[in-house]
A and B are shown apart, each in its own frame.
Chain A
Amino acid sequence: MIHIAINKKLHGASADMQLDVNFEIKDGDFVALSGKSGSGKTTLLRILAGLEEANGIIHVEEEIWLDNNICKAVQKREIGFVFQDYALFDNMSVLQNLLYVKKDLVLANHLLHVTELTELKDRSPSTLSGGQKQRVALCRAMMKRPKILLLDEPLSALDPVMRSKLQNEIIALHKEFKTTTIMVSHDPSEIYRLSNRVLVLEDGKIINDGSTKDVLLRTKGSQKFSFEGELLEIKKVDVIFIAIIAIGQQLVEVVVGEDETKNLNIGDVVNVSTKAFSPTITQ
């Protein structure tokens, strides 16, 4: 069990705010931290890692990482950290990058095998693609067998195919090592695939905390198929009305009743939803 209760004043882009969170994480959980930029997600990870000071407590199992008297140094906290950029040593081979953290050749070879990097182990990181570098960074973070793995948008710079491959590897590693993981991510499909719990941060406070499915399926009532969009136009055709709505990059048309048109204004942000029984899927 990990208990985190943190309080810190942050200087945000528009205004100062208070990072104020208090939550527990079960061992082996994969928690996604989501929320708008500037909501305090990365700061929270940095405080956990010991890279930033804060008031409060961090208890990891029986150990105290932070309280009124103690603030464990970064290198004493058993933490693995993967950022968006790779921060690998280019003057060392892939394998040496891993062994630099801990001289455990068996573990290093095993991690390289799981992430399909064995053939690249003697290469310099500078010769690798972004996805390969990020896999090396992930392996390196696991070399200490950390108690907590912190991932800060680790896949956001990668293309969709590489993203999906790395997600599979993160799943495989999590299955094997059962490392308690906290990941900052904005991508709902990534959050859904990887995490079992989601914390949503806004202005330094947790505004939503629940199982991944409950938090991500933003639905009202029994409607399961739900999107937010902008109302562009309503036109009358025969005895019905057709609303044109922009959802992301896509325009959709929805037939609405006359009574509904009375409450709708062009430019409104609207929710388009239907039951899970109605849509069809094609490839």
Chain B
Amino acid sequence: MKLLEEKIFKSLMLFSAFAIISILGFILFTIVSKGFASLSWDMVSKLPGGGFYLGKEGGILNAILGSFYIVIGAVLLALVLSIPVTMYINFYLPKRSFFADTVRFSFDILFGIPSIVYGAFGFAVMIYFGLKASLFGGIVVVGMLITPIIMRSLDEVARLVPKELSEASLSLGATKYEVIKVIIRQLLPGITTAVLLAIGRGIGDAATVLFTAGYTDNIPTSLSHPVATLPLAIFFQLGSPSEEVQNRAYAAALILTIIILVLSLSARYFSRKLSKNKI
């Protein structure tokens, strides 16, 4: 009886683990098989031509580049915010600090706030200041979305930095600021992993850029221009009644999936490298 229960539950566990693997396979298979047919070099190398949204020629270079513009700006913004915070709470404050714990807690909560709330809040603030949907707006709002992601993963690696490292530099007469520079060098692989994860999250998010970045067929040349993004390119083209255009949405979905796969794999590679060099 005991053993029968054991057997039943073990097979249920194996079944659910297998089901989760197959779901991932199923999703990837669906995206690849649907998208591959319409994927062409033109898709990734050309701007939308005249009549693109009626199924005529062109590509989604505007959306691919636009997504990268936004996410690069957002990552820079997020790094400028999250590196000082992580350094301060880990290396300036004592180990059991209420202040540090409060900061961590508030970032944990910011991490849980959905992108639509960031998007709506960001857009409302933009209206208040009379700004239109633009590259700048997109960068700021995606930056808000990914700052907690970067900060949390930086915090995790910063906590593992041995105390001896900062003590050794301090004993050589370095100021705290100079110690921080040494530590940042030590954290570089961790920062890289965090950035790659954040790029993946930022590049695929649609709800943040829906109002704040707008959509355009051109590549933006200034921060105040609207900008197209990949998730929105998928979303809008899928809503079209024309089958040609819908097929392009599937191809765009495949492109986005490939980008995410590459980012996810390289993040793994860097985090493995990180654990190899750990002191």
Are A and B subunits of one complex? no
User: Which residues does B use to contact A, with CB under 8 Å?
Assistant: none
